[in-house]
Amino acid sequence: MKKEDLRKLLSLESSIDITNVEIKKEGGKNNKYVYVKSNKKKARCLKCGNFSNKLHDYLKPVKIVYLKNSGENTYLIASKRRFKCKVCKKTFTEDLGLNGGKCNISYKTKQMILKECLDRNETLEDIARDCNVSTDTVRRIFLEAMKNYPEYVDTLPEVISFDETSTYTCAGTYSFILNDPIHRITLDILSSRKKDFLISYFSKVKNRKSVKVVICDLYQPYYEVVKICFPNAIFVADPFHYTRYVLEGLDNVRIRLQKEYEENKKSYEYRMLKNRVNSKLILKAFDYTKGELKKKKEQEERYKQGKARKKPFDKFNDYWYGVMKIKRNDAFIEVFRIDRLQEILNIDDDLSKAYNLKEEFLRITTYVKYKDAKSELKKWIKACEESEIPEMIEASKTIRNWLKEIVYSFKDERYSNGFTEANNNTITKIVDIAYGYKNFQFFRLRTLAVLHKSYSGGSRKNIENGKNKIWCFFEKIDKKGEQKRKKFSNH
Ligand SMILES: [Zn+2]
């Protein structure tokens, strides 16, 4: 076999010669040892940068952890020479470009570790096993790459949004997430959503006064944080969250009715109301919601241009007139979803009334423009009060109390935390896979790296200099934002 081929197989540079390959059986496993040396006659002085060919001596070969080869642990046994510099008269060791200084882990392995750290499905243990290192090494290399990552965001965009997600870390069960909804980026993850904590965090922000819009849940402490920290910002209710209050109202009606029929658990009504599939059916929007509508338009556009093979999903023909299997008299029968929905709603007047109120609310949030939002919502609140359904009255109270903030969300369709749903799933998944995190800071850095799909150490130099892409990414935000703004200016 040609040396060249062997080099290609091991992804080694052309300046490296392979002198021998040994396979040793160690601990019941086959380990590969590849003996390498430089084929250059001279080396560059590390101090002054001049080339020297004056050989000083040979060093004892060093063992370097390399990428696995055919699933077997592979080590490089590197023989290095020492040269004497003709200019500065110092002796120095040649650099084979395999590992850095005294580190016995190859650059290739480091890159692999960092790459795998961006995969949300990999735990540190998985990565350690894949790369033939310890979990502590994985942790150390990742933290090294992220060491320049800012501890807090000191400049914020004009529009920001708050969100929270349940995460089991040492810091508690909830994490606070700071987003940039316009560029659809997660800016930071904080360990607490408490008022005092947030105020002290935001007090470090340099441009607090230039923040114009803050989107978040209708949560009194957030409201106070915004008033104190961002004096020039408007507090905008997040559509994703306030819609949930209305959906909860409808679900509470169903739960109340279910309890009324509880005495006879075998009754048709009780079983219908308790069924999980049914409860999802009534909560699902009958028409398209705002996010779905946008997605559908995009898909249609792609299909027209021939970029997508599949025809976009049609809610009415594919979903409501699609069949679902249900069990009746010990046999499965198929029914249209729309018929099933009608069946459930026929059980009680309150349920069908509440359902219609929910649909009306979704219609308003999807189709009504900013200028009509206030009057339409007021009409809806009045309809809720007239319905005399306590759960819907309760929901409408929340909407009425925060009417101004909710109306603000109609100003711009991007004023929403909707995009973070996928991010929140990712965050939850990272925590679940690792069975929780003991160290919040590590969890924060890992999650941000996964969400930004960015890590340092694309090149050897970057690892050494501790420069990382995420750091630069903050500088790029403005450029990227400008492009997106242009895209949206047609609206
Ligand atoms: Zn020198």
**All structural domains of the chain:** 3-104 (no CATH), 159-234+432-490 (3.30.420), 239-408 (no CATH)
Give residue 90 CA to ligand 1 midpoint distance, Å. 6
Give residue 242 CA to ligand 1 midpoint distance, Å. 68
Q: What percent of the chain has pLDDT over 70?
A: 91
Give residue 39 CA to ligand 1 midpoint distance, Å. 21
Give residue 84 CA to ligand 1 midpoint distance, Å. 8
Give residue 80 CA to ligand 1 midpoint distance, Å. 17
Q: Which stretch, 238-252, 410-424, 443-457, has highest mean pLDDT?
A: 238-252
Give residue 92 CA to ligand 1 midpoint distance, Å. 8
Mean pLDDT rounded to a whole number for the chain: 84
Give residue 48 CA to ligand 1 midpoint distance, Å. 4
Q: Is the pTM of this model over 0.95?
A: no
Give residue 88 CA to ligand 1 midpoint distance, Å. 4
pLDDT tens, position by position, 296-325 = 888 888 888 888 888 888 888 888 888 888
Give residue 50 CA to ligand 1 midpoint distance, Å. 6
pLDDT tens, position by position, 64-115 = 999 998 889 999 999 999 999 988 888 999 888 888 778 899 988 988 888 8
Q: What HEC string does the chain produce?
A: CCHHHHHHHCCCCCCEEEEEEEEEEECCEEEEEEEEEECCCCEECCCCCCEECCEEEECCCEEEEEEEECCEEEEEEEECEEEECCCCCCEEECCCCCECCCCCEEHHHHHHHHHHHCCCCCCHHHHHHHHCCCHHHHHHHHHHHCCCCCCCCCCCCCEEEEEEEEEEECCEEEEEEEEECCCCEEEEEECCCCHHHHHHHHCCCCCHHHCCEEEECCCHHHHHHHHHHCCCCEEEECHHHHHHHHHHHHHHHHHHHHHHCCCCCCCHHHHHHHCHHHHHHHHCCCCCCHHHHHHHHHHHHHHHCCCCCCCCCCHHHHHHCCEEEEEECCEEEEEEHHHHHHHHHCCCHHHHHHHHHHHHHHHHHHHCCHHHHHHHHHHHHHHHHHHCCHHHHHHHHHHHHCHHHHHHCCCCCCCCCCCHHHHHHHHHHHHHHCCCECCHHHHHHHHHHHHHCCCCCCCHHHHHHCCCHHHHHHHHHHHHHHHHHHHHCCC
Taking a 5 Å cut-off on Cβ, the residues next to ion ligand 1 are 45, 47-48, 85, 87-88
Give residue 24 CA to ligand 1 midpoint distance, Å. 40
Give residue 45 CA to ligand 1 midpoint distance, Å. 5
pLDDT tens, position by position, 421-467 = 778 888 888 888 777 777 888 888 888 888 877 654 333 344 344 44
Give residue 89 CA to ligand 1 midpoint distance, Å. 6
